[in-house]
Amino acid sequence: MKSGAVNPVRLRYTKHGKVRWISHRDVARALERAFRIAALPLAFTEGFSPRPKVSFGLALSTGHESDAEYLDLVLTDDVALDALACSLTEALPEGIAVSGAAPLVERAPALQEAVTAVEWRVEPVTGDGAPVDAPTLGAHVARALELPALPTSRRRKGRDVEEDVKPVVRRCEVRGTNPVSVEMELITQPRSAKPGDVLAAIARATGFPGGLTEARALRTRQWIERDGTRLEPLEADTRPRALEARAS
């Protein structure tokens, strides 16, 4: 691909450990700084305040960790994608690492519109921080999933609103790990919910003693689903590497 051409790329990155307490905006700044350190040939918007053409996927709430976050960026020249993950990770704060890169087709749907489901591994505790046991939690989860609705109170635009999270929950399974964990799959469209909202709704609906909250929440997967096909974002809307090589 010739210099100056449009060359979109999709990256996958992780967020683990203490860095989970920095905001989505701060993560974006850290990544953009890493792009400058790695001297990526970024394409920029036009106008009075040019910005790099970088589009982030679903925001990750402060305090949550992730194995699978994504962003799209546009370059003006080819880069060695196999070496890109290492060079960017070296320029990022400890706890953030780029784990994959793929060449993207032009005009691919935005990640925020394309991702339809996410998976979580959540370590629940009671409202006062006490651990929960798997059999008791499993019984409450099973009872909750049989209910027609799972209402919970959420803060939106400065006020508390009641919402039913049951339509968002595609899967919710208790694992007898140490500590006990819950694996959830939640849809993202037309609306989604945080794993803590789902736990709170389960506790409220089934009268779980002391309530439920999350001690740790890890986003493990994101999915793009179209016409019965389910793809991880590095597999969707991407150009084959072989074609990329022939075009260079």
pLDDT, one tens digit per residue, over 73-131 is: 999 988 888 899 999 999 999 999 999 999 999 889 999 999 999 999 999 999 999 99
Which CATH entry fits the domain spanning 7-108: 3.30.70.580, 3.40.50.10490, 2.30.42.10, 3.40.1010.10? 3.30.70.580
Residue whose C-alpha is closest to residue 102's, from 247, 244, 245, 238: 238
Q: What is the dihedral of CA 228, 175, 147, 143, to 10 degrees?
A: 150
Q: What pLDDT score does 156 carry?
A: 74
Q: What pLDDT score does 51 carry?
A: 87
Q: What is the dihedral of CA 57, 62, 68, 69, to 10 degrees?
A: 30
The span from the CA of 113 to the CA of 111, in Å, is 5
7-108 shares its CATH topology with 114-226 = yes
Beta bridge mates, 161 = 154
- Scanning the chain, the segments in alpha helix (DSSP H) are 24-37, 81-90, 111-114, 134-145, 195-206, 241-247
Q: What pLDDT score does 5 carry?
A: 62
| Domain extents in the chain | 7-108, 114-226
The arithmetic mean of pLDDT across residues 185-211, rounded, is 95
Beta bridge mates, 70 = 12
Look at the block and give the residue holding tokens 């074609």: 243
The span from the CA of 125 to the CA of 130, in Å, is 5
- Using a cut of 0.85, tell me whether the model's pTM lies above it: yes
Spatial CB neighbours of 91, under 8 Å, sequence gap ≥ 6: 33, 34, 37, 38
Beta bridge mates, 39 = none
Look at the block and give the residue holding tokens 């339809």: 116
Average model confidence (pLDDT) across the chain: 91
66 burial type by CB count under 10 A (0-12 exposed, 13-18 middle, 19+ buried): buried
Look at the block and give the residue holding tokens 């736990």: 199
Q: What pLDDT score does 159 carry?
A: 81
Where is 77: in which H helix or E strand?
Answer: none
Give 241's pLDDT tier (boundaries 50, 70, 90): low
Give residue-wise pLDDT tens across range 10-45.
999 999 999 999 999 999 999 999 999 999 999 998
* Whether domain 114-226 has CATH 3.30.70: yes
Where is 108: in which H helix or E strand?
Answer: none
The fraction of the chain above a pLDDT of 70, given in percent, is 95
Q: What phi and psi, each to the nearest 5 degrees, are found at residue 172?
A: -150, 110
The arithmetic mean of pLDDT across residues 171-180, rounded, is 96
Which region among 45-59, 70-84, 230-244 has the lowest average model confidence (pLDDT)?
A: 230-244
